[in-house]
C-alpha cells in the first residue's frame, strides 16, 4: 500500500485548503483534480505510484471536505487555490506539474492550464460544457434543464443542488451509467473509497458541490486559445454520461489538443486504464 500525507494550508485571505499527497515522498508530482462531489480522498492507480515513482497530489476545493467555504469562489479563484496548495506542499515546487482532471473536474483543469499551472493536461472522461450551443444541441431537453436554470436563476439551481446528498449522488451515478460501469463502481475497494470521498464532498452542507456544479453548468469562463500546454482528452467508447460526442467538439476547441477513445472502456476509464492515463500524464508509457 502507498503512504498518504494530509496537509492543511492557509491561503493569503486566511482560508484553509486541505489536501493530500499519495505515494512516495520523493516521487514526481502529478496533480489529480477529481470529479463532482468527491474529495481529496479520491485517487486512481494507487497500486502503481510506488513502482513508477509518482506522487499524486489531491485537494479539497473550497467548501469541500476540510477546505473553508468561499462564497465568492469563481473558476479563476479555484485555479489559484490549486496553485497556492501546490506551492505550499511540494518542496522545491518550481511551477507547472502534470495535471489529470476527471469528469466535472475538467473545467478546473482547463482553468488551471489557462493560468499556466499545468505542465500538461490530461482530461479523462471530461464533462462537456453543457451551455456551449453546439453541445446543448446534441442533448435532449431534460439534460439541459438544470444548466438553463443555473444560467437564468442561479439561486434556484443552487437550491435544487443543495438538496442532494451522498446517497442521492451515488444513486444518480449508478443509475445513469452503463451496466458495465455500474458493476465496476460497486466493486471493492472502489465503492468504499467513493463513499468516503462523497461524505467529505458534501461537508459544509454541500457548499462546494453546489459551487462546482454551478460553475460547470454555466458558460465556462475559459479562453481556450490561452492554453499553451499539451492537452490530451481520453474517453471510453462505452461512456454514456460525460459527453454526447466523446469529447470531439471539446478537442476541436483547444488548439493542438489530441483525443483518444478506448474501444474497451466506459465512464470508469480513469480506474480501469490507470496505467495508460498516468503514462499520458507524465509523457512516458509506464511498464
CATH code, domain carrying 237 = 3.40.50.1820
Q: What is the mean pLDDT of residues 213-231?
A: 97
> What is the grid cell recorded at 30?
502529478
Q: Please work out, in degrees rounded to the nearest 5, the angle formed at the alpha carbon of residue 245 by the alpha carbons of 242 and 250.
A: 80
* Residue 74 within a domain: yes
Question: Does the model's pTM come out above 0.85?
Answer: yes
* Residue 19 within a domain: yes
Q: Is the pLDDT of residue 44 over 80?
A: yes
Q: What is the mean pLDDT of residues 212-239?
A: 97
What is the Cβ-side half-sphere exposure of residue 100, based on CA atoms within 13 angstroms?
A: 29
Positive/negative CA dihedral, 124, 99, 122, 229: positive
Q: How far is CA 271 from the centre of its chain?
A: 13
Ranges of H-type helices in the chain: 46-52, 75-89, 106-114, 133-138, 141-152, 154-162, 166-176, 179-185, 190-201, 207-217, 248-253, 269-272, 274-282
* Residue 287 within a domain: no
* Residue 228 within a domain: yes
* Residue 211 within a domain: yes
Residue 192 pLDDT: 97
Full residue range of the structural domain in which residue 129 is found: 4-282
Percent of the chain with pLDDT over 70: 99
List the one residue out of 193, 173, 180, 177 whose CA is nearest residue 47: 193
Domains contained in the chain, number: 1
Q: What span, in angstroms and rounded, lies between the C-alpha atoms of 208 and 39? A: 10
Q: What span, in angstroms and rounded, lies between the C-alpha atoms of 285 and 186? A: 29
pLDDT tens digits for 47-70? 999 999 999 999 999 999 999 999
Tell me if 209 sits within 8 A of 202, measured CB to CB.
Answer: yes
Amino acid at each position: 500500500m502507498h503512504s498518504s500525507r494530509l496537509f492543511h494550508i492557509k491561503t493569503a485571505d486566511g482560508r484553509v485548503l486541505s489536501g493530500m499527497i499519495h505515494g512516495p515522498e520523493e516521487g514526481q508530482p502529478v496533480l489529480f483534480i477529481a470529479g463532482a462531489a468527491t474529495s481529496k480522498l479520491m485517487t486512481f492507480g494507487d497500486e502503481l505510484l510506488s513502482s513508477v515513482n509518482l506522487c499524486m497530489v489531491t485537494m479539497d476545493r473550497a467548501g469541500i471536505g476540510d477546505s473553508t467555504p468561499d462564497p465568492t469562489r469563481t473558476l479563476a479563484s479555484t485555479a489559484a487555490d490549486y496553485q497556492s496548495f501546490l506551492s505550499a506542499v511540494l518542496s522545491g515546487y518550481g511551477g507547472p506539474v502534470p495535471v489529470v482532471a476527471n469528469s466535472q473536474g475538467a473545467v478546473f483543469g482547463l482553468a488551471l492550464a489557462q493560468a499556466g499551472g499545468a505542465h500538461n493536461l490530461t482530461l479523462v472522461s471530461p464533462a462537456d460544457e453543457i451551455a456551449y450551443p453546439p453541445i446543448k444541441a446534441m442533448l435532449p431537453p431534460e439534460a439541459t434543464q438544470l444548466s438553463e436554470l443555473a444560467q437564468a436563476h442561479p439561486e434556484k439551481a443552487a437550491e435544487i443542488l443543495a438538496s442532494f446528498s451522498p446517497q442521492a449522488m451515488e444513486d444518480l451515478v449508478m443509475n445513469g451509467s452503463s451496466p458495465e460501469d455500474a458493476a465496476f463502481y460497486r466493486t471493492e475497494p472502489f465503492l468504499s473509497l467513493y463513499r468516503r470521498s462523497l461524505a467529505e464532498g458534501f461537508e459544509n452542507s454541500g457548499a462546494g458541490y453546489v459551487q462546482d456544479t454551478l460553475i460547470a453548468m454555466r458558460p465556462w469562463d475559459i479562453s481556450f486559445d490561452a492554453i499553451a500546454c499539451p492537452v490530451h482528452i481520453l474517453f471510453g467508447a462505452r461512456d454514456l454520461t460525460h459527453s454526447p460526442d466523446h469529447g470531439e467538439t471539446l478537442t476541436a476547441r483547444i488548439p493542438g489538443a489530441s483525443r483518444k477513445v478506448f474501444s474497451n472502456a466506459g465512464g470508469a476509464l480513469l480506474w480501469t486504464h490507470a496505467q495508460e492515463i498516468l503514462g499520458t500524464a507524465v509523457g512516458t508509457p509506464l511498464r
